[in-house]
Amino acid sequence: MALSKEQLLDMYRMLVKIRTFEERVGEIYYEGKLPAFDIAAGPIPGEMHLYTGQEAVATGVCAHLRPDDPVTSTHRPHGHLIAKGVDLKAMMAEIFGKKTGLCKGKGGHMHLFDPTLHFGCGGIVGGGIPHAVGAALAIKKRGEDRVAVSFFGEGAANIGAFHESLNLAAIWNLPVVFVVEDNLYAISVPKSKSTAVRSNAERGVAYGIPGVQVDGQDVIAVYEAAGEAIDRARRGGGPSIIEAICYRFRGHFEGDAEKYLPPGEKEKWRQKDPIHILGNQLKQQGWLSDEEAAAIQDEMTALVREAEMFARESPYPAPEEALEDVFVNL
């Protein structure tokens, strides 16, 4: 499947968009928190899990998705939601805890919901996997051609919800694609200490579904594997699992001292930056000049700055709004 110049440039722009958003959030996050790190202080309080380094996975998968294709994500959700096409202003405002945010300030960075994009995520590892199965069940019952995608980390592949979900999806032949982002660590515990299986794609065999492992730093490889799986699901061919090997450039969360990393490992992976990989390919093709790359970066910086200004200037919710939205009607 040969990708056109436009398709490749669109993916390049998405990689840069996610990276720019994440790096700016990473800067803002430390405002007011230093010198003695105070997690509750600053304009963005709480935990912060950034997607920097893994952008090719969200980008390559979501390039195949329509706004009405359901996606479930994780505690590291920004990349998936941006790749799905979210309004950055509403997303940033939610991360700031503002009234104008996607969830009116009730969700925050780990609990972002956008029903217009059929997107949900959450802070419980593996918690979203059964939801994607249920979404796919709804799709199949209605005879629609939508596809559900569940993103989760390799750590989640050891929780019961993962195994129950693959089994249910298989026996009901559902239009769902499970995307394991193997970023090598579940917080600090490496994959080798949490599973005896080399590739989580092999776990598909246990449930009778196809599985494939890809280089998650190479957006074209992700795009091709995801295209096959998503097309199969859309045509009624049932579920599959993709494991994308990728890397977190900023650790598990902001403030992670990364004591568990072998010396030199991150520097080695930095050489496999997904933006550089695709950028170099585009330049070799003559489809992207340095000036054009700089212009794309400027455009994304401006977009993220606009979202940041919107978030900063937006009002906080009134304290008593905490009492609303527990039920639709009570």
Q: Which residues bind another protein (CB under 8 A)?
A: 70, 72, 101-107, 111, 113-115, 118, 120, 122, 124, 127, 129-139, 141, 148, 160-161, 164-165, 167-168, 171-172, 324-330
Q: How far is the CA of 164 from the CAs of 133, 136, 171, 176, 262, in angstroms?
A: 10, 15, 11, 14, 34
Q: Can you tell me which residue has the tokens 């009492």?
A: 323
Which residues neighbour 56 within 8 Å (Cβ) at sequence distance 6 or greater?
15, 216, 217, 218, 219, 222, 244, 246, 274, 277, 278
**Residue placing its CB nearer to another protein in the complex, 173 or 301:** 173
**Residue 131 Cβ, how far from another protein at the closest point, in Å?**
3
Matching residue, tokens 């401006």: 302
Measured distance CA(182)–CA(200) in Å, rounded: 9
Least distance from another protein to the Cβ atom of residue 69, Å = 11
Nearest approach in angstroms of CB 98 to another protein is 11
Cα 153 to Cα 127: distance, rounded to the nearest angstrom: 11
Beta carbon of residue 184, minimum distance to another protein (angstroms, whole number): 25
Q: Tell me if residue 233 falls in helix, strand or coil.
A: helix
The counts of H helices and E strands in the chain are 12, 8
In the bound state with another protein, the residue whose beta carbon lies nearer, of 20 and 240, is: 240
Toward another protein, which CB reaches closer, 27 or 325? 325
Q: Tell me whether residue 100 or residue 199 sits nearer to another protein (CB atom).
A: 100
Residue with Cβ nearer another protein (102 or 226): 102
Least distance to another protein, CB of residue 317, Å = 9
Q: Which residue shows structure tokens 């026996």?
A: 171
